[in-house]
Structure 1
Amino acid sequence: MDTSLAILLTQDGIVTGAIYALLATALVLVFSITHVPFVPLGGFVTFTALTLVAIQEQRTPLVAYVVMTLGVLCFLLEVAGAWRSGAGGRAVLRAAGQYLLAPAVLSALAVAASRATVPVPVGMLAACLLIVPIGPMIYRLAFQPLIDSDPLTFFMLSIAVEVSMIGMGLVLFGPEGARTEAYTDFQLTLGDLVIPGQSLFILGAAVLLTVGLFFFFNRTIRGKMLRATAVNRTGAQLMGISVVRSGQLAFTLAALIGAICGLLIAPRITLNYSSGLMIGMKGFIAAVVGGFVSYPIAALGALLIGLLESFSSFWMSAWKEVIVFTLIIPVLLFRTLHGGDGDDTH
């Protein structure tokens, strides 16, 4: 292997690792706050990318009907809860705005974008806004009723949600793979190294999103609320912080990160209805490397996975997935022998 090829593979591994790092960050966030190993996160990647393809091809994004259906189910649960607790009509109106009006408006915007020739950023925004609400809706329907369950129960439930999303994706998008056109034709040339503009776009977006999350957690009330819930749920409740709202916000942020990752890789690789499982699992491995508590270690693990995947694709492409997933064995062995959970960096 010559130097130019090694640099090219390293570049590809770093770009891929940046995507996995974002997913790992979302997984650590959700687990630390709700104890849910959010396996279906990869589904948000493929749903967003394929929705953007539908909008660009001026096809109605069928996922809009799923969003509205989930909204109706969540609204009915909220009404039933308000009736049992004796809450007033204000709670019902709030639920109607959150689960009926907002999904309907976002779905209408996505459908309108698919009926006209819109600029690429507008299509990206419409696809993202349509997919993100699915996150808190899944939390409301599947996880909130079992809020005090153990992680094993949540893991099994996450697998069920992932299987449901794969089946839904087949119905909504069909079996064929698709990708969007490149967002830019720009290339940065540094000597013998040529860096595609798409790679720079991914790295820049990853850095901006990471910085944004840092300021959110350290400079905003809601961010500090999430940090408090992650450190000590009981203490947070005693201070008046709602664990339910923290869970909803965590799932919303995770869905947003997953949707942004879908937009970033949509022109890079061909995705189909089941691609999210493999993408999400690699982010999951990175989160395991960080013990589901350490954001920096999870990010480093994601970069390692990206590099390992890139070089193994060149040397042993048929064994690429086996090599990547085998990484979890020594990590689990190390954590089992040392009996630690990793460094808590909240």
Structure 2
Amino acid sequence: MSWDIASILAVDGMAGAAIYLLAGIGLVLVFSVTRVIYVPFGDVAVFSALTLAFIEAGRVPPTIGLVATLAALATLMEVVRFAGLREFARIPKAVFYWGILPLLPCVPAWIFAGSEMPALAAIALSLALVVPIAPLTARLVYHPIADASVLVLLIASLVLHFLMSGLGLLFFGPEGFRTRPFVQGTLQLAPGFSVSFQILLMVGAAIVLAGLFFLAFERTMIGKALRATAVNRVGAQLVGIRPAATATLAYVAVSVLAGIVGILIAPSTTMYYDSGLIIGLKAFVAAIIGGLNSYPLTALGAVAVGMLESFASFWHGALKDVIVFSLLIPALLVRSHFSSHSDEEPEEEV
């Protein structure tokens, strides 16, 4: 392998690391607040990419029907719950938050479907359409079992992934789509070595968003509430923080991250309805390296996954995914070695 090839692979690895960084941040955020390993992250990213592709093609995005279906089910669940508790005064508020608010982005998407839209407007509309997906699915699947074990929540998360993959096939169809690149051209860094502006955009967006999330957690009341819930769920509840509300905010944040990830990778990768699993799993490897609780270590894990995937595609393209997922073994071994283990209690004699 020459230095020129290594440089090209390193640049591609950084582009992949940028994607896995954003996805890893989302996984760590949701897990720390709700104990849920959000496997459907990649599905939301795929829906975002496909939505943008439909808008650019001048077609009505099927995301409208998907969001409307989820909103109707979530609203029905809330109405039945409050009716069973005889708290009828809370039903209008629930209908607004779960039934009307998620549908607001669907109105301009329906009105302007088929018309030529500026690139930034199409991106903003695509992102707004997919933001309600994670909170709505969480209300339907995770909220009723919020106190279950991590294993039960993981099983529910896997089931939700396959359900969302099926919904993607139903609403978007089996065809693959690729969006138009946001920027054209390359930046010449050295003789014979250049970097496309699209890759620079991906890396820059990841760095900026990671910085914004850090500032949000450190400087805003909402960020501090999320951190408090992550550190001590019961203690946060005792000081007036509602875990259900912070969980919903976490799902909104992860939905925004997933939407941005889908929009960033759509110009360079053909997206299908079932392309989300591999994105989520590789981001999960990065999150595992970070212990599902450390954002800096997750960033390092994202760089490791991106670089390893890039170089593995050169060494043996057919086995690149196997090589990437093999990172889990040393990561788990190291985590197990340095974590504290409590001895099992001896069995009582009968």
TM-score tier, shorter chain, comes to over 0.9
- Whole-angstrom distance in 1 between the partners of 2:332 and 2:18: 23
Q: Which residue of 2 aligns with 1:172?
A: 171
CA contact (8 A) 2:67 2:132 kept: yes
- Greater mean alpha carbon deviation, residues 186-195 or residues 252-261: 186-195
After TM superposition, where is structure 1 displaced by more than 4 Å over at least 4 residues in a row? none
**What are structure 1's unaligned runs of at least 5 residues?**
342-346
Q: Which residue of 1 aligns with 2:101?
A: 102
| 1:148 maps onto 2:142 in alignment | no
Matched residue pairs, number? Answer: 340
CA contact (8 A) 1:43 1:277 kept: yes
> How far did residue 105 of structure 1 move?
2.0
Q: Which residue of 1 aligns with 2:333?
A: 333
- Whole-angstrom distance in 1 between the partners of 2:195 and 2:112: 32
Larger of the two Rg values belongs to structure? 2
Partner SS for 1:114:
coil
CA contact (8 A) 2:176 2:271 kept: yes
Q: Which residue of 1 aligns with 2:245?
A: 245
Q: Which residue of 2 aligns with 1:31?
A: 31
CA contact (8 A) 1:74 1:99 kept: yes
- Whole-angstrom distance in 1 between the partners of 2:281 and 2:340: 22
Q: Deviations over 1:69-119 (max 9, x none)?
A: 111111112112222333342x22222222222232211222233321001
Q: Which residue of 2 aligns with 1:324?
A: 324
- Greater mean alpha carbon deviation, residues 59-68 or residues 255-264: 59-68
Q: Which residue of 1 aligns with 2:180?
A: 181
| Matching of residues 42-57 of structure 1 within 5 Å | 42-57=42-57
Q: Which residue of 1 aligns with 2:226?
A: 226
Q: Which residue of 1 aligns with 2:278?
A: 278
Q: TM-score, normalised by structure 1?
A: 0.95
| Matching of residues 93-132 of structure 1 within 5 Å | 93-132=92-131
Q: Deviations over 1:141-196 (max 9, x none)?
A: 10011111110000000000000111111122222211111111132111232111
- Whole-angstrom distance in 2 between the partners of 1:4 and 1:98: 54
Amino-acid identity (%): 40
- Whole-angstrom distance in 2 between the partners of 1:340 and 1:294: 17
- Whole-angstrom distance in 2 between the partners of 1:235 and 1:271: 43
Partner SS for 2:292:
coil
| 1:191 maps onto 2:190 in alignment | yes
Q: Which residue of 1 aligns with 2:133?
A: 134
CA contact (8 A) 2:42 2:276 kept: yes
Counterpart residue type for residue 207 of structure 2: V
CA contact (8 A) 2:23 2:41 kept: yes
CA contact (8 A) 1:57 1:114 kept: no
- Whole-angstrom distance in 1 between the partners of 2:316 and 2:110: 43
CA contact (8 A) 2:42 2:258 kept: yes
Q: TM-score, normalised by structure 2?
A: 0.94
